[in-house]
Amino acid sequence: MYNFDFVKPGSVADAVAVLADDDAQPLSGGQTLIPSMKARLNAPGTLVSLTGIPDLVGVCRESDTLVIGAATTHAQVARDAAGDFPGLAALAGQIGDPAVRNRGTIGGSLANNDPSACYPAAALGTGATIVTDRREIGADDYFQGMFATALEEGEIITSVRFPIPQASAYAKFVQPASRFALTAAFVARYASGVRVAITGASENGVFRWAEAEAALSSNFSADALASLGCSPHEMIADLHGTAAYRAHLVGVMTRRAVTAAG
């Protein structure tokens, strides 16, 4: 790790002001940024902590929407969302290990958009709204490929607004070493239809599985997916699984998520 300055502003406005400096980077739970700094792969001049801003922390229900502050830890989401949105709470409870869950935050995960992270599946699978210091971005526009998002330089996620589904579940098959998702599916059923988001599988990051959404919207059961296959085209291939294996798991995990959602 190289030397850096550290600031911990108390408001979003103050954080945005400090982040105007090109050499500054926001730090939320630090579960990705800190290891990359320790490996000297990342060297910000200033780290701007977002965890001292009270407005960014908390889980609260507003009618049919669950609003989660960007600096809310996975552990808090697992606990505080359990009543209103159990599918999301269960997803948060499966991220990493207790140490990770007590440091890592939802905003940090979505800003990083790791292709194997869990939260992108929930955000895209619910059509959530990503709220930043300057605008609101729909999930369908927000995720733009592996580690790529619609966020601009210095733009901070402040909260995420999840439309609460009638039923939902997350089915995750873990990469055995990292315990990130080797392939995982988030399925959410709304009155307007079903959304299915897949993480871990694609070279393009989290994606919606349109064929499964169509099939499930008319028949919300695992059987509706029986004849559906997902193409291995542009799927990730690595030590832990081939592209064909991941494509296969897309089907298996989606069926399991549907069954779990009931």
Partner 1 sequence: MPKDDGIGASVKRREDTRFLTGNGKYTDDINLRGQTYVHFLRSDIAHGRIKGIDSSAAEAMDGVLKVFTAADFDSAGGIPCGWQVTDKHGQPMQEPKHPILAEGKVRHVGDPICAVVAETYAQARDAAEAIEVDIEELDPVVDMKAALADGAPLVHDDLTSNLCYDWGFVEENKDAVNAAFDSAAHVVSLELTNNRLVANPMEPRVAVGDYDPWGDNHTLYTTSQNPHVIRLLMGAFVLNIPEHKLRVVAPDVGGGFGSKIYHYAEEAFCTYAAKVLKRPVKWTSSRSEAFISDAHGRDHKTKIELALDADHNFTALRTETYANMGAYLSTFAPSIPTWLHGTLMAGNYKTPLIYVNVKAVFTNTVPVDAYRGAGRPEATFQLERLVDKAARELGVDPIELRRQNFIKPEEFPYQTPVAVVYDTGNYHATMDKMLELADYAGFEARRAESAKNGKLRGFGIAHYIEACGIAPSNLVGQLGARAGLYESASVRVNATGSISVYTGSHSHGQGHETTFAQVVADMIGVDANSIEIHHGDTSNTPMGMGTYGSRSLAVGGSAIVKATNKIIDKAKKIAAHLLEAAPEDIELKDGKFSVAGTDKSVDWSGVTLAAYVPHNYPLEELEPGLEETAFYDPSNFTYPSGAYGCEIELDPDTGKIDILRFIAADDFGNIVNPMIVEGQVHGGLAQGIGQALLENCVYDDQGQLLSGSYMDYTMPRADDMRGFTVDHSCVTPCTHNPLGVKGCGEAGAIGSPPAVVNAAIDALHRAGHTQITHIDMPLTPSRVWAAMQG
The binder of partner 1 chosen from 173, 186, 207, 209 (CB under 8 A): 173
Asked whether position 169 contacts partner 1 by CB under 8 A, the answer is no
Stretch that binds partner 1, among 56-64, 144-152, 176-184, 225-233 (CB under 8 A): 176-184
Asked whether position 195 contacts partner 1 by CB under 8 A, the answer is no
The binder of partner 1 chosen from 162, 207, 209, 245 (CB under 8 A): 245
Residue 166 or 178 with smaller CB distance to partner 1? 178
Asked whether position 228 contacts partner 1 by CB under 8 A, the answer is no
DSSP percent split of the chain into helix, strand, coil, nearest 5: 35, 25, 40
Q: How many residues does the chain have?
A: 262
The binder of partner 1 chosen from 11, 36, 102, 178 (CB under 8 A): 178
Query: Rounded to the nearest 5°, which phi and psi values hold at 13?
Result: -60, -45
Query: Rounded to the nearest 5°, which phi and psi values hold at 260?
Result: -70, -35
Residue 132 or 199 with smaller CB distance to partner 1? 199
Q: Is the CB of residue 195 less than 8 Å from the CB of residue 188?
A: yes
Residue ranges in 49-108 that form contacts with partner 1 under rule CB under 8 A: none
Asked whether position 176 contacts partner 1 by CB under 8 A, the answer is yes
The binder of partner 1 chosen from 177, 191, 192, 218 (CB under 8 A): 177
Three-state DSSP at 63 gives coil
**DSSP codes of every residue in 188-224:** EEETTEEEEEEESSBTT-SEE-HHHHHHHHH--SGGG
Give least dist CB 203 to partner 1, A.
Answer: 17
Query: Rounded to the nearest 5°, which phi and psi values hold at 102?
Result: -90, -5
Tell me the one-letter amino acid at 19. L
Q: How many residues bind partner 1 (CB under 8 A)?
A: 16
The binder of partner 1 chosen from 7, 252, 259, 260 (CB under 8 A): 252
What is the distance, to the nearest Å, from the Cα of residue 128 to the centroid of all Cα atoms in its chain?
Answer: 10
Q: Which chain residues interact with partner 1 by CB under 8 A?
A: 2, 39-40, 173, 176-178, 239-242, 244-245, 248-249, 252
